Structure 1
Amino acid sequence: MRRTEYLFDLADWLTDPPSGGPIQMWVVGAGLSALVSLYGILCCLTQRATTLNITMRGFQPIGRGLWLEISGIHAITFGFVIVCIGLFMHFQWFWGNHKRLFPFHEVAKYCAALGLVVAILAHAYTMITQT
């Protein structure tokens, strides 16, 4: 499979209504999304975050080792990114599998995706200008 086909399949999977039932609704839509969102909120409140160190070629390494610890405004913007991912998961797999909330899950999911784009841009901006 070519890389572009994989990206299109991933985009289709994220934009299509969920096909799972109550188990997917509660395990992914409630449980996993709550854990992700709580970690993001914790990053914002404590202004500390731990993430994978994925230094790209051509850039100076931010830190050594597998884990990267960030603090201050960087951790806050990273926390907003994580909260938006958790909200997207919740709207996609909880609201998308709920009978009464299903009509609203598309709008909520795309609002969370828009928030994710804004949070990523804010995080990138702070990492570039404040480092």
Structure 2
Amino acid sequence: MRRNETLFDMADWLTDPPTGGPIQMWSVGVILSSIVTGYGVGCCILRRAITLNISQRGFRPLSQGFWLEIAGIHAVTFGLVVVSIGAFMHFQWFWGNHEKLAGYHEIGKYLSVLGLLIASVAHVYTMLVHT
């Protein structure tokens, strides 16, 4: 087995229609996606976010602890990234499992991925330029 096959398996899993049924539809597509989206909206409104500190070698460490607190425009762009992830989860696992909305879940899913890409670029830009 090649090393990067798991990456392709994960991409296939995220692009294929879900097969979980009503339990997955409500637990992941509504409850978990609402928690993720709510945290992202809270980051945008409060302009504060707490996330894992994943500073890598070669970069100036942003914080010494396990958690990283960001504020201002950095937190807003991070919140937009999190909202896009929550929207993807909702479209994939709620709309994809819903009998009437299943035909439209791909549109919402790909729009949320586009939003994720734009928000990620904005977040990286603000973290590099405004730090």
The TM-score, its normalising length taken from structure 1, stands at 0.98
For residue 66 of structure 1, report the CA deviation from its aligned partner. 0.5
Letter in 1 for 2:82: I
- Structure 1 residue 3: deviation in Å? 3.3
Name structure 1 gaps, 5 residues minimum. none
The aligned residue for residue 124 of structure 2 is 124
TM-score (ref. length: structure 2): 0.98
Q: How does 1:1-131 map to 2 (within 5 A)?
A: 1-131=1-131
Deviation of 1:57 (Å): 1.4
Task: In structure 2, list runs of 5 or more residues that go unmatched.
Answer: none
Aligned residue-pair number: 131
- Aligned AA for 2:49? A
**CA drift at 1:2:** 3.7
Identity across aligned pairs (percent)? 63
CA separation in 2, counterparts of 1:118 and 1:42?
19
Question: Structure 2 CA distance, aligned partners of 1:107 and 1:116?
Answer: 14
Measured on the aligned residues, the alpha-carbon RMSD in Å equals 0.7
| Structure 1 residue ranges (4+ consecutive) displaced by more than 3 angstroms after TM superposition | none
